[in-house]
Amino acid sequence: MIDRRGFMMASLAGPALAATASPALAAPAPAALTLPCVISTWDFGIAANQAAWAVLSKGGRALDAVEAGARIPEADLKNHSVGRAGYPDRDGHVTLDASIMDEKGNCGAVAGMEHIAHPISVARRVMERTPHVLLVGDGATQFAMEQGFPHETLLNAESEAAWREWLKTAKYRPVANSEVGTYGHGGAAAPLGVPGGKSNHDTIGMLALDAHGDISGACTTSGMAWKLHGRVGDSPIIGAGLYVDNEVGGATSTGVGEEVIRNCGSFLVVELMRQGRSPQAACEEAVGRILKRKPDAKDLQVGFLAINKRGEVGAWAIQSGFSYALCDGHKQDGLLASGSAT
Ligand code: GLY
């Protein structure tokens, strides 16, 4: 654990460290937060953390905090990888995935849900008001409407224009797994940059520890742009995109969900922490497992973010460019660059 000054310096030095990171170098110094605290993926996590902090700073529950936080990017009309303004699948459907998990191990999720702007809140209703964990597709939408969520057209003009532009050159061909790095959500056919990269990063994953030391997590995304209709990524899969255990800590992921699902990524990170690894070492091992099993995954992006019960934070990604936002009583708008394996 580094001290407060070390954290502040790491905040400033993070981007430079990440830019020069290599597998042989030690990871950037991980942050240690004081309780209550909240962390989340990407730069848009800063605004999400503020909403979560409004709950945590008043002594509120971590579960309420992560739901409130995740709703911020879900509502952001400029965010095309989460929520109502998410880019559609190749057929023009905006389909949303989300999961939520609390300190008791309760969890809920929705996948491939259309027409409902706040999947994280529907996921919470699944957790609290049904005997189930995961609702998908039309069933998820039906449940959300029964719960009073408004049925809306989510595809906005900007997202539709981007999709129509993609259609001009995409030839609508299915995405083979081996092509994921160059087609489907990146590459020449879809000018969004590297999948999971800066201009096509996806998913807010959020982890909070409240003043009682209880942990909860949330994860929400519109998934990969131009995905096959029906494709579901890691975000709504408990143990893949999100996992928390109140004895240990929590983890969440971003990037190409297929690689995270194959390796039960977030569950793996939490189990490694249970065995004594720091959050940083656990995230690095999880990325290493992906690359060991499939070396070609070096061309994709996957990032893990984790926190243990002491407020120690870790993050690691396949490629540089992954950032994460931190918030506690000392600093509410921290942003660090993750180190990376390549
Ligand atoms: N990580 C989000 C997705 O793959 O859909």
224 CB within 6 A, ligand 1: yes
Q: Provide the pLDDT for residue 299.
A: 87
Ligand 1: which of 221, 242, 301 to mutate, judged by most atoms within 8 Å of the beta carbon?
221
Q: Which of 141, 203, 252, 254 is catalytic?
A: 203
- Give me the mean pLDDT over the 83-87 stretch: 92
Name the residue with the closest Cα to ligand 1, atom 4.
257
- Count of alpha carbons within 13 angstroms of residue 164, beta-carbon side: 7
CA distance 210 to 127: 20
State the DSSP H helix or E strand holding residue 107, giving kind and residue range, or none if neither. Answer: strand 107-113
Which pLDDT does position 28 carry in this prediction?
56
User: Rounded to the nearest 5 degrees, what angle is found at the Cα of 278, between the Cα atoms of 330 and 332?
Assistant: 15
Amino acid at 110: V
Q: Which atom of ligand 1 is nearest to the CA of 258?
A: 4
Confidence of residue 200 (pLDDT cuts 50, 70, 90): low
Q: 330 C-alpha vs ligand 1 centroid, how far in Å? A: 32
Would you say the CB of residue 257 lies under 6 angstroms from ligand 1? yes
pLDDT band at 10 (very low <50, low <70, confident <90, very high): very low
- The answer for residues whose C-beta is within 8 angstroms of residue 182's C-beta and 6 or more apart is 188, 299
Mean pLDDT for 306-311 is: 98
* Spacing, Cα 275 to ligand 1 middle (Å): 27
Centre of ligand 1 to C-alpha 274, Å, is 25
User: What tens digit of pLDDT does each residue of 145-170 get?
Assistant: 999 999 999 999 999 999 999 888 87
> In whole angstroms, how far apart are CA 300 and each of 172, 183, 269?
21, 11, 19
pLDDT tens column, 203-260: 999 999 999 999 999 999 999 888 899 999 999 999 999 999 999 999 999 999 999 9
- pLDDT score at 29: 55
Among 41, 97, 226, 322, name the best residue to mutate to test ligand 1's pocket (greatest count of ligand atoms within 8 A of Cβ).
97
Per-residue model confidence (pLDDT) at position 181: 42
pLDDT at residue 166 in the model: 87
Phi and psi, residue 53, nearest 5°? -65, -35
| Domain locations along the chain | 37-246+324-332
Say yes or no to pLDDT of 188 above 70.
no
Question: What is the pTM assigned to this prediction?
Answer: 0.88
- 261 pLDDT higher than 90: yes
Can you tell me the mean pLDDT for 310-330? 96
182 assigned to active site: no
pLDDT digits (tens, 9 = 90+) for 25-54: 345 555 699 999 999 999 999 999 999 999
pLDDT at 177: 44
DSSP 9-24: HHHHHHHHHHHT--TT
Residue 236 Cα to ligand 1 middle (Å): 9
- Is the backbone of residue 232 left (phi > 0), alpha (psi -120 to 50) or beta? beta
Ligand 1 pocket: which of 231, 235, 300, 301 to mutate (most atoms <8 Å of CB)?
235
- Per the model's pLDDT, the better-predicted residue between 219 and 9 turns out to be 219
Is the Cβ atom of 255 under 6 angstroms away from ligand 1? yes
